[in-house]
Structure 1
């Protein structure tokens, strides 16, 4: 990430050449931005992101072969992202990927500039953030999950366990059960390994909530959770170190 005096390196990704031209024109008229190029597919953009430094991604959602959101799902360390799309229907899902802004076409320069200024502010705050703020960002205390059409904040300390049921996972806290359309793999990625462990193909547990283990069964509250054979060694190692 550049400092606040260096223009943000931007990549534009859209399958519509006219949209690319409009965004490129906006970038050219914004002093703190510079374009490193554009791509007409998410597949091509993935290669650029792999080989070149990019600070800010202007990304369309609906593209053939791979959507913009699919692209974000493949990135381990994505740049700052501003989604530019013709539909409002992806807004909730988009913010699960921590995008900075969501701009609906047709694009005006005023709306573009407002979104770009968010990127500039994010860059400036990251270069001046105190150590404790940086540590907090690296060790978050919560996540957001999508429940129907809402994003719900989940505090890690409140979670007892996560259970897979068909195409859904149930996130169980001391006071509630959230039903989330998700795979266990995706759920596992949301919960930090410093606190949570996969103990069975259908269960993730909060290690702090484990009360006892007997006959390869974990007790959390009144819930008896089996430890899968393939997970036993790692689980017992984790608990011994916890």
Structure 2
């Protein structure tokens, strides 16, 4: 059997209206070397809002929730992440198949069964080559040429009108793009969106103070929508 990766490859979000169930899944994630938790929600509507602005690799999603079911939540997302449905009933297997989810877990969730689902998700991610294996760089289009950007050198990304400015250690690249496109291209394990206009490299965050993160001495504002996720991610540094 191949030795599993020791560094996290898939960032995960847990959505379940039962706090105890959330903690069970978070504990499973913490014990799985190729997974890392990006956060959790007991409110599915709040989770849907989060997923419209933030990118995760894998979603552990309860089906039966008040106001907005897990299936309905998936239907609100234009580009849903890889998803493992979790429920106390086997009656949703057909709907799970129709939504092309990675796996379907029935509560109570055992770690052995959870690990199998996680390995299935990793296999699908690697098969589709979604930049989840921690590539060290990406190419971005600057004017009429493609420029290599090394992720370790990126300090932060700032949106300005129809363009984004990618600030690196030695240069600034002006790219005609959206922040969502950048978030999809940059590995979520290394970068976090802190504001509608800013994405920062976690390894270059020097401090968090007064509603801002400090990167290379620059105070970058943290928007209210992103504050919870930022604090959860910073706490893992």
User: Segments of 4+ in structure 1 off by > 3 A?
Assistant: 3-6
Tell me the distance in 2 between the aligned counterparts of 1:6 and 1:124: 13
Please say if 1:60 is aligned against 2:62. yes
**Which of 1, 8, 11 does residue 10 from structure 2 map onto?**
8
- Deviations along 1:159-206, one digit per CA (max 9) or x if unpaired, are xxxxxxxxxxxxxxxxxxxxxxxxxxxxxxxxxxxxxxxxxxxxxxxx
**Which of 80, 83, 89 does residue 81 from structure 1 map onto?**
83
Give SS of 1:35's match: strand
For normalisation by structure 1, the TM-score amounts to: 0.50
Shift of 1:94: 1.5
Aligned ranges 1:84-163 → 2 under 5 Å: 84-127=86-129
- Deviations along 1:110-169, one digit per CA (max 9) or x if unpaired, are 0000000001101111119xxxxxxxxxxxxxxxxxxxxxxxxxxxxxxxxxxxxxxxxx
**Which of 11, 22, 36 does residue 34 from structure 1 map onto?**
36
Specify whether residues 119 and 4 from structure 1 end up closer, same or farther in structure 2 by C-alpha distance, changes over 3 A only: farther
Tell me the distance in 2 between the aligned counterparts of 1:63 and 1:41: 9
Shift of 1:6: 4.7
Runs of 5+ consecutive residues of structure 2 not aligned to the other structure = 131-237
Give the number of the structure with larger relative contact order, counting CA–CA contacts within 8 Å between residues 6 or more apart: 2
**Corresponding residue of 1:19:** 21
Aligned ranges 1:165-204 → 2 under 5 Å: none
Shift of 1:41: 2.0
**Corresponding residue of 1:231:** none
Specify whether residues 4 and 121 from structure 1 end up closer, same or farther in structure 2 by C-alpha distance, changes over 3 A only: farther
Tell me the distance in 1 between the aligned counterparts of 2:50 and 2:18: 18
Shift of 1:36: 0.6
Give RMSD over aligned pairs: 1.8
**Corresponding residue of 2:72:** 70
Tell which structure's C-alpha radius of gyration is larger. Answer: 1
Tell me the distance in 1 between the aligned counterparts of 2:32 and 2:105: 17
Give SS of 2:63's match: coil
Shift of 1:4: 11
